[in-house]
Amino acid sequence: MTPADRQALFFFPLIVLVGCGLAWLGGQGGVVLFGWPLFALAVGMAYLIQWVVFLPSFLAQTEKFFDLTGSFTYIFITASLVLLAPMRDARALLLAGLIIVWAVRLGSFLFLRIQRSGKDERFDDLKPSFWRFLNVWTLQGLWVSFTAAAAWAAMTSLRRPALDGFAWVGCLLWLVGFLIELVADEQKRRFQANPANRGKFIRSGLWRYSRHPNYFGEILLWFGVAIIALPTLAGWRWLTLLSPLFVIVLLTRISGIPLLEQRADKKWGGQPDYEAYKQNTPVLIPRWWW
């Protein structure tokens, strides 16, 4: 076993324990099903789905179903909570609709992208290692659970306030974030599909104002979801409001921006146009006036 494998083996139970802590805290004071908090069952199912798909993916040495599995997990669990919760109100249905629309759009986009490219370079060094590859899937279970935590807590809450200003403000913020992410992804897809742009980096459209505008939109929409969920929370369930902060940490410190920036530096580093773009364009928050 390599040092990297031993490190992965060490972190595996930690990722699971964090999920267990989230399941326990988010399940406090919520709907109970078969003696278990419905929120906790949702978190457990998020992990289980990843592990089920991981096994054939490891045997086939493929990452093609990774993103699709993450999106399916959001859709399946969110829809299940709507069906299993004894009470359904407008806020729960609104949250479910927003999450499912986002997951369908992003999941289909990422799946088609990897079908066109044939692979995702992020997984090249991970796939051969059982524990390292497993950790990526397990981390996705935690990612799904944490990002959806505020919404799932609201959908399983015993408190059911009517739609209010929080709902409308959150919905507007979600819409702005969703549109930014959608437009940024489509602009990049079209740029890369143009043979004239082969080997070049995008710096037009929204990418003129931010090096990662799609991630900025992603963060905005999850803040919107948390704002919608806010009036339903109480006690330990307030901690589920950390969900958009988790998205920020994940995208800016762990698996999103750092990997992409490293890959871009390796590919275009030293080129005057790239260095100028990097120096004058914010990493995340757009500078609209530039």
For 133-172, the pLDDT digits (tens) are: 999 999 999 999 999 999 999 999 988 888 999 999 999 9
By the 8 A CB rule, do 202 and 191 touch? yes
Q: Residues 77-98: what's their mean pLDDT?
A: 92
> Could you please report the per-residue DSSP string of 181-248?
HHHHHHHHHHHHHSGGGTT----SGGGGT-S-HHHHHHHHHHHHHHHHHGGG--GGGGGGGGHHHHHH
Q: Residues 115-135: what's their mean pLDDT?
A: 82
Q: Residues 52-74: what's their mean pLDDT?
A: 93
What does pLDDT average to over the chain? 91
pLDDT at residue 290 tops 60: no
Return the pLDDT at 3: 83
Strand extents, DSSP E, the chain: 32-33, 36-37
* 143 token code pair: 């990612």
pLDDT at residue 184 tops 80: yes
Q: pTM, whole model, 2 decimals?
A: 0.91
- The burial class, CB within 10 Å (0-12 / 13-18 / 19+), for 270 is exposed
Give the model's confidence band at 109: pLDDT under 50 very low, under 70 low, under 90 confident, else very high: confident
By the 8 A CB rule, do 77 and 150 touch? no
Taking Cα atoms as reference points, which of 98, 145, 169, 141 lies closest to residue 242?
Answer: 145
Q: Could you read off the pLDDT of 187-232 as tens digits, one per residue?
A: 999 999 899 999 899 999 999 999 999 999 999 999 999 999 999 9
